[in-house]
C-alpha cells in the first residue's frame, strides 16, 4: 500500500504525473530539482542535470497539460544566464524568478520570459555572501530567504536585494543546521527549513527566532531521513520531501503526523506519446509488474524505488501551486507527481 | 618499529588493499601483522564517504544510469573505505566473473553485483556462485533470460564451467548441456520488458528500472540430469554444489587468488603455496576467507621475493595514488575524471572488455598506458595542497630538523611513499637531480613556497619510477 492516513480530516489524493526523461533539449526533464509557477500558470522546471550532461542543464517551461512552452538558462557554464549546480527556484510578486546555484555561489534573477535581470554572487561567509546557496523562498512582501548551506545559516534579503538578517550556525541544537537544503515561508511569514542532515524541519519567525523543530531520524511516521524540501499550505499543513526515505510526509500545523505518500506515478502524456511509437516496449511493459516483491538485499527505500517505477525516487522538492496542488519533483525519475487535498 | 615491519605491512596493504600512508602503516604495525590480516578478513564498518552525501552532490551517482557515474561511485568507496580488502576482493571477483555495462545498459545493477561480491566474497564459494548465478546483471550478460525449458541457451552454463570454475579440459560438452538445463527458469523480474529496454538502451519513460532475480518454476527443466558423473533432478543450486566439490575448481580459484594477491607468475614456491591454499579450501568447507588467510600469513607472501612481484592494475594504481595523496575524500566534481583515468590506462570499472575480464600482469603496461600511469600519479603527488602531500612535507620538516641533504631528501621521500625500493641507478639519478639545488631547508616553510615545491617535485619524480608501478 503506497499511502495511508492517520486521521480522516486530512487526505491528499493523487492527480497526475507530468514528465519524461530525455537526453536532449526541448520536451522532457533531466534530473529536475524544483518547480515554480508564474502568475499565468506556467510551470517552470529546474533541470539540475549532472556534470556528465551539462549541455542539458536548463529551466524548462510547460503547461499543466504538458504543452512544451520553451526553455532558458541552457548549457551549463559561467555566463550570467547559465548554471553549474542549480538547486531551487522561487517567483516574487513581480513574476521574477530567482534561481540558486550551489557551485556558482550565486542567485540569478530572470523575468518570466527567461531574460537575465540580475545576480547576487558574492562568495564567502560575510553578510550577504554565499557558500552553497540551496533552498529559496519568497514571502508576500518579497523578502527573499535563502538557505546558505555550507555557512549553516539562513539569510534574509529585502525586495531590493539588500541584506536584512541571518540566523543559524553549524550544529544540531535549535537554530543550528547540518547541511540545510529546502525552505518555505507560510502566509504569516513564518519560515520552515529542511535541516537535511539533522533529519528535521525547523520553524522560525520571519526574523529568525526559533519556534519549533519537527521530526527525528528514522523511517517511522513523523520521522525523517535527510529531508530536502518543505512547503506549507494556507491552513498551515507542512509537506516534507523526505528524500532519504524516498517519500513525502504531511504534518499538521502543530507538527503532528498526518499522511505519508510513497508515490503512485502513472504515465504522463509525454510517456504515452513515447510508448505509442515504441510498441515493443509498450507490449512488454503491459505484461510487467512494476511494483514487484523484491529480494531482501534490496530492502532500503532507495533500492526499492530504483526497482519500483511508480514510487518516488529522489523526491527533492515539494511545492504548492496557486490552487494548492502539491508538486513532488523527482530527480531520479525525471517527472512531477501531482496531488491535491480531497 | 623497524623498517622491516613497516615494509612488510606496506606490502600487505598494497596487496590486500590499495596501499597505505605512513601514519596508517604505523598504526597497523602497532596491532601486529596477523592481527591486521584478521582485521582485513573481517571487515566491519567501512566508514566510506556516505551515500547520502554522494547522492546529494552527484546527481548521476544517485540515479546511476551510466557507467561513468557508477565507476566514480565505486571509486569513492575504494578511496575512502577503512576495510580495503572488502573492495579489493570485489575488484578481484569483478575481474573473474566479468560483467560489463556495454550489453546491459544498466549501471546500477552492476553496482548491485559489486555489493554482492562485498557481501559474499569472503564466505563460502558455493554461496557466492549461487548468488552470482542469480545476479540479474549476469543473467542478461550471459543470456540466461533466454535459457528456457523447451529451448535451452548454453551461454551461461558454458562460461560457468569454462571461465568461472573448472576450466577447459575438466568437463564435457554434455556437462555444458546438462548444466544449462539446470539453470532454466533462472531469470529476472519482468524479463521481457527489461531485456527489451536493455537491448534498445531505453531510458524512457522514467529512467532505468533496476533488476532483480526471479525464478520461473514453469520454465524450469526439472528432469533427470547427469553432470560431472553424478545423476539427479538437479537444479542450479545442485550444480553449484557439485562444482565447488571439484579439485579443478579449488585449484582454479586458488590460482587466480594467488595471481591477484601474491604474484603475476606462479613459480615452484608459488605452486606450493597454492597447494596450501587448496588444502585450506577443503578444510574450511570452501571458505574464501580461510584461503586468503593461508595466503597472507604464508612465508612466501611475507618474503622479499613476493614484494613488487606484481604490476599494479590501473584501478589499484589510481586508487592507491589518490589514497596516498589524500585527495577526493569529500564530494569533488573531478571524481569522474579519476575513474576515467583508469579507463585510459586500460581498466574501466564495470566495463571489462569481455567475459574473460582483463589480461593482467605486464599486459597492463604499454607505452601509452605507461604515460597515463606516470602522469596521473605524479600529478596527484606533486600537488602541495593535497592533504597526503602536506603530511609528508610536515614529517620531513619535523623529523629532520628542517634541513635535508639531497640524499636524505630522496631516501625520506622514497621511504614515506611506500617504502619504495628502487635500484641504485634510479636512486643515484634522483639524488643527482636533488643535488642541483643543494640542501633543502624546510625551516619556516609555507604552503607552496620553493622548499615545498622541491619536495613536491621529488615526490612526483619518485612516483614516476618503474618501481612505483609495481605492487
Inside any domain, residue B296: yes
Mean pLDDT over each residue of chain B, to the nearest integer: 97
Q: Is there a single domain that holds both residue B293 and residue B420?
A: no
Q: Which helix (H) or strand (E) holds A145?
A: strand A144-148
| Confidence tier at B400 by pLDDT (50, 70, 90) | confident
Calculate what percentage of chain A has a pLDDT beyond 70: 98
Calculate what percentage of chain A has a pLDDT beyond 90: 96
The number of distinct structural domains making up chain B is 2
Calculate what percentage of chain B has a pLDDT beyond 90: 97
Q: Is there a single domain that holds both residue B265 and residue B400?
A: no
| Higher per-residue pLDDT: A331 or B400 | A331
- CB contact (8 A) between residue A289 and residue B189: yes
- CB contact (8 A) between residue B206 and residue A333: yes
Output the nine-digit C-alpha cell for A331: 530527480
pLDDT given at position B237: 98
Q: Is there a single domain that holds both residue B435 and residue B354?
A: no
Q: Is there a single domain that holds both residue B266 and residue B393?
A: no
Inside any domain, residue B426: yes
What is the domain extent for residue B299?
47-306+329-339+348-369
CA distance B182 to chain A (A): 21
Per-residue model confidence as pLDDT tens digits over A116-137: 999 999 999 999 999 999 999 9
CB neighbour class for A64 (10 Å; exposed up to 12, middle 13-18, buried from 19): middle
Output the nine-digit C-alpha cell for A9: 480530516
Q: Which helix (H) or strand (E) holds B453?
A: helix B450-462
Q: Is there a single domain that holds both residue B335 and residue B439?
A: no
Q: Is there a single domain that holds both residue B200 and residue B241?
A: yes
Q: Is there a single domain that holds both residue B159 and residue B272?
A: yes
Q: Is there a single domain that holds both residue B202 and residue B243?
A: yes
CB of B55 closer than 8 Å to CB of A331: no
Q: Is there a single domain that holds both residue B394 and residue B294?
A: no
> Nearest chain A Cα to B210, which residue?
A307
Output the nine-digit C-alpha cell for B170: 575438466
CA distance B427 to chain A (A): 42
Inside any domain, residue B85: yes
Residues near A97 by beta carbon (within 8 Å), at least 6 away in sequence: A36, A38, A44, A59, A89, A90, A91, A109, A110, A111, A112
Hey, is B105 helix, strand or coil? Answer: coil
In this predicted structure, the answer to whether residue A52 has a pLDDT above a threshold of 80 is: no
Contact status of B58 with chain A (Cβ, < 8 Å): yes
In this predicted structure, the answer to whether residue A296 has a pLDDT above a threshold of 80 is: yes
- CB contact (8 A) between residue A334 and residue B206: yes
Inside any domain, residue B81: yes
Q: Is there a single domain that holds both residue B97 and residue B244?
A: yes
φ/ψ (deg, to 5) at B150: -95, 0
Inside any domain, residue B17: no
pLDDT given at position B292: 98
Per-residue model confidence as pLDDT tens digits over B417-464: 989 999 999 999 999 999 999 999 999 999 999 999 999 999 999 999
Q: Compute the average pLDDT of residues B212-220.
A: 98
Inside any domain, residue B315: no
pTM score, two decimals? 0.96
pLDDT given at position A2: 45
- CB contact (8 A) between residue B112 and residue A298: yes
CB of A294 closer than 8 Å to CB of A303: yes
Q: Compute the average pLDDT of residues A275-287.
A: 98
Packed helices B236-244 and B173-182: angle between N→C axes, nearest 10 degrees:
130
CB neighbour class for B276 (10 Å; exposed up to 12, middle 13-18, buried from 19): middle
Q: Is there a single domain that holds both residue B59 and residue B85?
A: yes
Inside any domain, residue B313: no
Q: Is there a single domain that holds both residue B160 and residue B266?
A: yes
Contact status of A274 with chain B (Cβ, < 8 Å): yes
Contact status of A134 with chain B (Cβ, < 8 Å): no
The three state secondary structure string of B230-252 is EEECCCHHHHHHHHHCCHHHHHH
In this predicted structure, the answer to whether residue A171 has a pLDDT above a threshold of 70 is: yes
pLDDT given at position A8: 53
Inside any domain, residue B457: yes
Q: Compute the average pLDDT of residues A250-271.
A: 98
- CB contact (8 A) between residue B51 and residue A302: yes
| Confidence tier at A190 by pLDDT (50, 70, 90) | very high
Amino acid at each position: 500500500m503506497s499511502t495511508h492516513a492517520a486521521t480522516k480530516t486530512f487526505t491528499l489524493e493523487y492527480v497526475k504525473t507530468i514528465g519524461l526523461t530525455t537526453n536532449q533539449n526541448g520536451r522532457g526533464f533531466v534530473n529536475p530539482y524544483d518547480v515554480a509557477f508564474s502568475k499565468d500558470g506556467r510551470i517552470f522546471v529546474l533541470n539540475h542535470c549532472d556534470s556528465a550532461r551539462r549541455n542539458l542543464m536548463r529551466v524548462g517551461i510547460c503547461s499543466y497539460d504538458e504543452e512544451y512552452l520553451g526553455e532558458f538558462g541552457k548549457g551549463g557554464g559561467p555566463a550570467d544566464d547559465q548554471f553549474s549546480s542549480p538547486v531551487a527556484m522561487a517567483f516574487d510578486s513581480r513574476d521574477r524568478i530567482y534561481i540558486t546555484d550551489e557551485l556558482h555561489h550565486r542567485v540569478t534573477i530572470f523575468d518570466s520570459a527567461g531574460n537575465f535581470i540580475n545576480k547576487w554572487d558574492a562568495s564567502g561567509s560575510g553578510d550577504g555572501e554565499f557558500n552553497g546557496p540551496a533552498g529559496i523562498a519568497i514571502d508576500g512582501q518579497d523578502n527573499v530567504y535563502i538557505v546558505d548551506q555550507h555557512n549553516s545559516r539562513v539569510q534574509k534579503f529585502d525586495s531590493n536585494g539588500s541584506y536584512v538578517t541571518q540566523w543559524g550556525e553549524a550544529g544540531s541544537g535549535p537554530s543550528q543546521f547540518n547541511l540545510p537544503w529546502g525552505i518555505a515561508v507560510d502566509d504569516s511569514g513564518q519560515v520552515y527549513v529542511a535541516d537535511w542532515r539533522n533529519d528535521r524541519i525547523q520553524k522560525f519567525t520571519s526574523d529568525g527566532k526559533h519556534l519549533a523543530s519537527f521530526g527525528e531520524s528514522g523511517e517511522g511516521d513523523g520521522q525523517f531521513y535527510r529531508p530536502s524540501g518543505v512547503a506549507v499550505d494556507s491552513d498551515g499543513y507542512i509537506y516534507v520531501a523526505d528524500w532519504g526515505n524516498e517519500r513525502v510526509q504531511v504534518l499538521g500545523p502543530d507538527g503532528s503526523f498526518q499522511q505519508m505518500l510513497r508515490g503512485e506515478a502513472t504515465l504522463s502524456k509525454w510517456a504515452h506519446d513515447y510508448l505509442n511509437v515504441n510498441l515493443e516496449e509498450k507490449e512488454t511493459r503491459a505484461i510487467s509488474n512494476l511494483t514487484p516483491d523484491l529480494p531482501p538485499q534490496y530492502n532500503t527505500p532507495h533500492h526499492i524505488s530504483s526497482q519500483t517505477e511508480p514510487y518516488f525516487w529522489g523526491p527533492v522538492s515539494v511545492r504548492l501551486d496557486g490552487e494548492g496542488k502539491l508538486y513532488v519533483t523527482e530527480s531520479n525519475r525525471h517527472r512531477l507527481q501531482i496531488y491535491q487535498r480531497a | 618499529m623497524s623498517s622491516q615491519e613497516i615494509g612488510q605491512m606496506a606490502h600487505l596493504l598494497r596487496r590486500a588493499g590499495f596501499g597505505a600512508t605512513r601514519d596508517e602503516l604505523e598504526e597497523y604495525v602497532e596491532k601486529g601483522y596477523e592481527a591486521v590480516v584478521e582485521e582485513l578478513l573481517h571487515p566491519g564498518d567501512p566508514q566510506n564517504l556516505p551515500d547520502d552525501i554522494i547522492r546529494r552532490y552527484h546527481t548521476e551517482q544517485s540515479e546511476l544510469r551510466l557507467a561513468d557515474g557508477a565507476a566514480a561511485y565505486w571509486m569513492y568507496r575504494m578511496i575512502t573505505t577503512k576495510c580495503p580488502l572488502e573492495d579489493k576482493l570485489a575488484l578481484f571477483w569483478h575481474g573473474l566473473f566479468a560483467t560489463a555495462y556495454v550489453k546491459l545498459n544498466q549501471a546500477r545493477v552492476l553496482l548491485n553485483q559489486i555489493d554482492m561480491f562485498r557481501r559474499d566474497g569472503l564466505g563460502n564459494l558455493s554461496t557466492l556462485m549461487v548468488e552470482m548465478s542469480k545476479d540479474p546483471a549476469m543473467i542478461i550478460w550471459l543470456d540466461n533470460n533466454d535459457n528456457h525449458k523447451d529451448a535451452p541457451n548454453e551461454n551461461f552454463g558454458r562460461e560457468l564451467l569454462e571461465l568461472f570454475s573448472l576450466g577447459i579440459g575438466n568437463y564435457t560438452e554434455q556437462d555444458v548441456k546438462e548444466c544449462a538445463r539446470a539453470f532454466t527458469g533462472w531469470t529476472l523480474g519482468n524479463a521481457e520488458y527489461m531485456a527489451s529496454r536493455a537491448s534498445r538502451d531505453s531510458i524512457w519513460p522514467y529512467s532505468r528500472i533496476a533488476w532483480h532475480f526471479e525464478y520461473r518454476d514453469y520454465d524450469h527443466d526439472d528432469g533427470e540430469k547427469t553432470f560431472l558423473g553424478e545423476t539427479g533432478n538437479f537444479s542450479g543450486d545442485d550444480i553449484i554444489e557439485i562444482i565447488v566439490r571439484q579439485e579443478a575448481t579449488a585449484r582454479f580459484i586458488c590460482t587466480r587468488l594467488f595471481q591477484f594477491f601474491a604474484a603475476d607468475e606462479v613459480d615452484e614456491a608459488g605452486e606450493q603455496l597454492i597447494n596450501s591454499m587448496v588444502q585450506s579450501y577443503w578444510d574450511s568447507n570452501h571458505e574464501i576467507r580461510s584461503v586468503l588467510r593461508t595466503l597472507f600469513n604464508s612465508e612466501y607472501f611475507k618474503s622479499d621475493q613476493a614484494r613488487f612481484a606484481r604490476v599494479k592494475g590501473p584501478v589499484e594504481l589510481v586508487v592507491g595514488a589518490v589514497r596516498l595523496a589524500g585527495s577526493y575524500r569529500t564530494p569533488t566534481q573531478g571524481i569522474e575524471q579519476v575513474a576515467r583515468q583508469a579507463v585510459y590506462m586500460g581498466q574501466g570499472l564495470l566495463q571489462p572488455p569481455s567475459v574473460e575480464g582483463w589480461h593482467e600482469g605486464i599486459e597492463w603496461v604499454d607505452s601509452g598506458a605507461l604515460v597515463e600511469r606516470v602522469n596521473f600519479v605524479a600529478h596527484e603527488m606533486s600537488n602541495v595542497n593535497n592533504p597526503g602531500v602536506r603530511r609528508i612535507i610536515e614529517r620531513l620538516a619535523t623529523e629532520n630538523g628542517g634541513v635535508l641533504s639531497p640524499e636524505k631528501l630522496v631516501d625520506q621521500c622514497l621511504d614515506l611513499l611506500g617504502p619504495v625500493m628502487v635500484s641504485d641507478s634510479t636512486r643515484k639519478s634522483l639524488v643527482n637531480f636533488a643535488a642541483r639545488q643543494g640542501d633543502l631547508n624546510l625551516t619556516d616553510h609555507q604552503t607552496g613556497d620553493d622548499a615545498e615545491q622541491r619536495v613536491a617535485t621529488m615526490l612526483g619524480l619518485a612516483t614516476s619510477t618503474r618501481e612505483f608501478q609495481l605492487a
